[in-house]
Homo-oligomer: A and B are copies of this chain.
Amino acid sequence: MSKVRLIFLGTGGSIPSKKRALPAIAVKYLNTAILLDCGEGCQYRIFEAGLGLNKVKTILVTHMHGDHVLGLPGILQTYAFMGRSESLVIIGPRGLKDFVESVLSLVPCALKYKIDVIELDKKHYDVIYEDKTYKISAVEAEHTIKNYAYLITIKEYYRKIRDDVIAELGLKMSPELYRRIIRGEVGFIEACGKRVPMYQLLKIKSKFKIVYTGDTRPCRAIVELARGADILIHDATFSCELNEKARATGHSTAAEAALVAKEARVKELVLFHISARYSNASKLLVEASAIFPETILPNDMDEIERDV
């Protein structure tokens, strides 16, 4: 059984404080990492965590507010200096591509790798990206500007063949084909006019689901996205006394995050995007835990590791 590791690089929001940097989370699984948002300075934190910047293959940006996206140009430039050659996928709302292209043209550097920006504008995406290990889905959340909440599904497989898919494709199983499938060969198989990724011929053993909301009010779309998830990382900018402020600024209180977690029946809730006003955020944890006991509130650079 493999482990997924979540490193909370920055857990604050809007403005940094001495205790909390701007939002960024690394999701490390096997030999790759996905970065959730890119607050300023997250490249330093990735170095500090010993994660290896080049492990990052995909960056998910929830929305185009500076606290979530201004660490991105620095990472792209550092990749250029490091001579990265592997392509990078960046997913986010419309405006992201223009931002990346503008910064890279105004602040010149010699890029030797391909940046593939995928811009979202629909309300719901069942699959934005999928490979053998990851599937990425998204829904539009409720913030002051367009913000996407992401679901990352991590898949583990048995060393067993899916006979139903074999039959459907009319494939004749040979010892050679069997070996290719079982050893997890990358690539596609073509049959009956269909082109199917090899990993789809393997039986799925488990799925581990992580939802990250970015900045949002509690909302139906997130409850649906997070239903049964293993980990829900939810905006919890304020405590419940400031619920009017949360509403006015498009954020959630810790209690509201807990109610979403409860309704979606997730396994664990992570309170995130903590306002700089809380030099001690334990009241947010107490407030949420009263509603949803399986709640944690990480500090910067805290890590959690879970079985997939």
Contacts and interface: CB of A to CB of B under 8 A. Distances in A.
Contacts of A106: 64, 95, 98-99, 102
B102 A66 contact: no
Interface in A1-51: 14-18, 21-22, 40-41, 43-44, 47-48
Most B Cβ at <10 Å: residue of A17, A21, A22:
A22
Indicate the member of A67, A103, A108, A109 with the most B CB atoms within 10 Å. A103
A74 B70 contact: yes
6 contacts: A15-B81, A40-B41, A40-B44, A65-B108, A66-B109, A102-B103
A71 interface: yes
A99 B108 CA distance: 11
Contact of A67 (B15, B21, B77): B77
A206 interface: no
Contacts of A99: 103, 106-107
A254 B297 CA distance: 46
Given A40-B41, A74-B40, A109-B65, A82 B15 contact: yes
Nearest to A46: B16
Closest 7 CB pairs of A and B: A66-B77, A41-B41, A40-B74, A99-B106, A66-B107, A102-B102, A15-B81
Nearest to A65: B107
Q: How many A residues touch the partner, as a band?
A: 35 or more
A78 interface: yes
Contacts of A102: 102-103, 106
A128 B70 CA distance: 30
A250 interface: no
A81 B109 CA distance: 30
A69 interface: yes
Interface in A150-173: none
Interface in A66-118: 66-67, 69-71, 73-74, 77-78, 81-82, 95, 98-99, 102-103, 106-109
A127 interface: no
A114 B178 CA distance: 67
A109 B95 CA distance: 14
Nearest to A68: B107
Nearest to A50: B18
Contacts of A48: 18
Contacts of A103: 99, 102-103
A296 B48 CA distance: 27
A168 to B, nearest CB: 46
A145 interface: yes
B81 A77 contact: no
